[in-house]
């Protein structure tokens, strides 16, 4: 479904990605793990078109999307929930969700999707007319995911969905991601919470300083992570 | 001392300033660009009035005025497409300099093609008429500008609140990157912002040129400054701030005209800026705060 071939990208003078090659198949849930600054978020940003790769190929559904603007990539079915959630704070929950459905435009379907989201995220129904900025962190994360789902993405990319949330909420978020995956949504997940992530994903890539250090099934990576426990173990909180 | 005619004239002036400020801030909100070519959009509308009025068409003035406003909106859109779009991804400084270039270019075009001297614009009879309200004569022009402002602010609010484009415009002012990630084309919102901006400039131009019944190549300088200062007073981060700033500017200006002794009247602008500096000393972000993205813990 999604394929990256030796992607290089930079933030100004800093080389953030040095040859990332990875693949996500339809229906899979794949994780990118690694320490801060390994290039996980940058990889997602590059796929989503926020960052233009200097070199390399990105193919999505047999079409090259490297260098295309974010709105064009969103229209092709890739949805990114960025780190920090990026809730449109001065818009209501309703308006956030409406914009989530921007590329769909069918009002009947919009209403149906809304109902579906309410069953998944009951809190959003309660907060429907509240401003996005007045929601708590966990609520915002739910809104961000719900908003992404409104576009019926073929590939959902989540960047640190559990970051900064209370432990109880973190559980909810992980349950939710699992539910989405079981429903058939293809997911590319970036998480610092490595243990929890490896419990739910099919495969994972371990990134280090802008390159793929190793990759494999969740259990394979888990054994590696255990070996390199010192390296990956205690970097969850900053 | 605060008579009804003073009141109406002040609100009228404030309405013009508020519309000016709004047109400037709607682009700023999204691109963070102070469009220094904004004043030239008023000039364009003024010359459109002059040219269309001189063509001896049998069109009623009202139609000519609407055409002039639409031309200003169209030119605003064209400047975005031709001048700003190519440099948009480079840097904000590049855009700022581009806006100066566009401003100079349009001014010089007017100098070259038309004339450095003032040209007369057609005005309808009602612009020089007055009505008696509570015993005082009120220029109809002033009442019209108030009504226009109220109608346009209302229309814009509806657009921003109830249409998908409007929601996208507000979203873009909030977080442009995220808005694009949701599939909203950058060009769509930016073009829309420039068109609305040009529209407001055009409407104000009708009233602005109506005061002297003439247009010059440099007519845009004063309204640009007014719009900028009004935005700074009110707060650059939201549309309501711009409107409040515009009215406040009008009120302060009118009061200065009323209270300053005759020999100081020429220094009205200096006093105006003194007050602006004082406001900024106490409210550096302007009077109306933008949307703060604070988050509850939980």
Q: What is the pLDDT of residues B78-99, one digit of tens each?
A: 999 999 999 998 889 999 999 9
Do the chains contact at B168 and A99, CB–CB below 8 Å? yes
Mean pLDDT of chain B: 90
pLDDT band at B293 (very low <50, low <70, confident <90, very high): very low
Q: Tell me if A238 is assigned to some domain.
A: no
Q: Say how many Å lie between the first and final Cα of chain A, rounded.
A: 34
Burial class, B14, CB count within 10 angstroms (exposed 0-12 / middle 13-18 / buried 19+):
buried
Assess if residue A111 is contained within a domain: no
Residue of B nearest to A45 (CA): B181
C-alpha to C-alpha distance for B263 and B59, rounded to whole angstroms = 46
| pLDDT above 60: residue A156 | yes
Please give the ipTM for the structure prediction: 0.91
Query: pLDDT tens across A161-188, in order?
Result: 998 888 888 998 999 999 999 999 999 9
- What are B188-228's pLDDT values in tens digits? 999 999 999 999 999 999 999 988 889 999 999 999 999 99
Residue A99 forms part of a structural domain = no
> CB–CB of A89 and B293 under 8 A?
yes
Which burial class, exposed, middle or buried, applies to B125 when counting CB atoms under 10 A from its CB (0-12, 13-18, 19+)? exposed
Q: Rounded distance, CA B20 to CA B35, Å?
A: 12
Give A206's DSSP letter. Answer: E
Does A134 fall in a domain?
A: no
Other beta carbons less than 10 A from residue B81's beta carbon: 14
Q: Is residue A108 part of a domain?
A: no
Q: Of A146, A58, A71, A154, nearest to B189 (Cα)?
A: A71
Q: How far apart are CA B231 and CA B234, in angstroms?
A: 5
CA distance B105 to B99: 10
CA torsion A58-A45-B184-B291 (nearest 10°) is 180
Which stretches of chain A sit within 8 Å of chain B by CB? Answer: 48, 50, 69-71, 74-75, 79-80, 82, 86, 88-91, 95, 98-100, 102-103, 131, 133-140, 147, 151, 166, 169
| Number of domains forming the structure of chain A | 1
- Nearest residue of A to residue B175, measured between CA atoms: A88
Its domain, for residue A181, covers 2-88+154-232
pLDDT tens column, B31-59: 999 999 999 999 999 999 999 988 877 88
Evaluate whether residue A54 is within a structural domain.
Answer: yes
Residue in B164, B186, B291 closest to A71 by CB: B186
pTM: predicted TM-score of the whole model, two decimal places:
0.90
Interface probe, candidates A81, A99, A131, chain B, greatest B C-beta count within 10 A: A99
- The angle formed by the CA atoms of residues B274, B20 and B130, to the nearest 5 degrees, is 95
Kindly report the nearest CA distance between residue A227 and chain B, in angstroms: 35
- What pLDDT sits at residue B69? 97
Cα of B165 to nearest chain A Cα, Å:
9
Under the banding of pLDDT at 50, 70 and 90, the label for residue A101 is very high
Chain B, nearest residue to A150 by Cα: B182
Parallel, antiparallel or unpaired: strands B214-215 and B119-120: antiparallel
Output the domain CATH number for residue A25.
3.40.50.300
SS3 state at B58: coil
Q: Cβ contact (<8 Å) for A86 and B178?
A: yes
- pLDDT tens readout for residues B243-252: 999 999 999 9
- Mutation for testing the B interface, residue in A91, A135, A145 having most B CBs under 10 Å: A91
Look at residue A118 and tell me if it is in a domain: no
Does residue A45 form part of some domain?
Answer: yes
Give φ, ψ of A201 to 5 degrees. Answer: -90, 165
DSSP strand pairing (A2-11 vs A55-60): antiparallel
């Amino acid at each position: 479904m999604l394929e990256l071939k030796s992607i290089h990208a930079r933030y100004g003078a800093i080389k953030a990605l040095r040859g990332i090659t990875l693949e996500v198949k339809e229906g899979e849930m794949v994780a990118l793990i690694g320490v801060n600054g390994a290039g996980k978020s940058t990889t997602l940003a590059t796929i989503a078109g926020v960052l233009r790769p200097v070199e390399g190929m990105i193919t999505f559904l047999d079409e090259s999307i490297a260098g295309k603007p974010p709105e064009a990539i969103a229209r092709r079915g890739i949805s990114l929930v960025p780190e920090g959630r990026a809730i449109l704070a001065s818009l209501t929950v309703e308006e956030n969700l409406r914009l989530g459905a921007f590329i769909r435009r069918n009002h009947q379907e919009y209403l149906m999707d809304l109902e579906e989201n309410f069953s998944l995220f009951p809190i959003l129904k309660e907060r429907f007319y509240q401003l996005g900025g007045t929601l708590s962190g966990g609520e915002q994360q739910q809104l961000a995911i719900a908003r992404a789902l409104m576009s019926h993405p073929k590939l959902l990319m989540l960047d640190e969905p559990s970051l900064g949330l209370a432990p109880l909420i973190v559980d909810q978020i992980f349950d939710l991601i699992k539910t989405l995956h079981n429903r058939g949504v293809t997911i590319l997940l970036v998480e610092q919470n490595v243990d929890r992530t490896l419990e739910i994903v099919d495969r994972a890539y371990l990134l280090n300083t802008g390159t793929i250090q190793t990759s494999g099934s969740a259990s394979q990576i888990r054994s590696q992570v255990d070996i390199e426990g010192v390296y990956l173990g205690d970097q969850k909180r900053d | 001392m605060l008579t009804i005619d003073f009141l109406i004239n002040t609100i009228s002036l404030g309405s013009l300033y508020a519309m000016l400020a709004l047109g400037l801030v709607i682009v700023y909100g999204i691109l963070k660009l102070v469009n220094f070519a904004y004043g030239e959009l008023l000039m364009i509308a003024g010359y459109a009035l002059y040219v269309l009025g001189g063509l001896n068409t049998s069109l009623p003035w009202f139609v000519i005025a609407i055409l002039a406003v639409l031309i200003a909106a169209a030119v605003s859109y064209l400047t975005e497409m031709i001048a700003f779009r190519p440099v948009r991804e480079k840097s904000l400084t590049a855009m700022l300099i581009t806006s100066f270039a566009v401003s100079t270019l349009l001014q010089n075009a007017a100098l070259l093609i038309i004339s450095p001297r003032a040209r007369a614009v057609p005005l309808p009879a009602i612009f020089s008429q007055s009505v008696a309200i509570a015993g005082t004569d009120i220029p109809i022009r002033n009442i019209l500008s108030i009504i226009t402002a109220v109608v346009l602010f209302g229309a814009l609010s509806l657009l921003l609140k109830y249409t998908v484009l409007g929601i996208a415009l507000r979203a873009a002012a909030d977080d442009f990157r995220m808005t694009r990630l949701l599939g909203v084309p950058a060009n769509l919102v930016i073009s829309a912002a420039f068109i609305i901006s040009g529209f407001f400039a055009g409407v104000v131009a009708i009233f602005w040129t109506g005061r002297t019944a003439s247009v010059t190549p440099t007519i845009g300088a004063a309204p640009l400054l007014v719009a900028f200062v009004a935005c700074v007073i009110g707060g650059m981060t939201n549309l309501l701030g711009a409107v409040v700033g515009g009215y406040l500017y009008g009120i302060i200006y009118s009061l200065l005209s009323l209270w300053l002794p005759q020999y100081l009247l020429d220094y009205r602008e200096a006093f105006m800026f003194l007050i602006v500096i004082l406001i900024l000393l106490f409210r550096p972000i302007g009077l109306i705060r933008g949307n703060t993205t604070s988050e509850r813990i939980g």
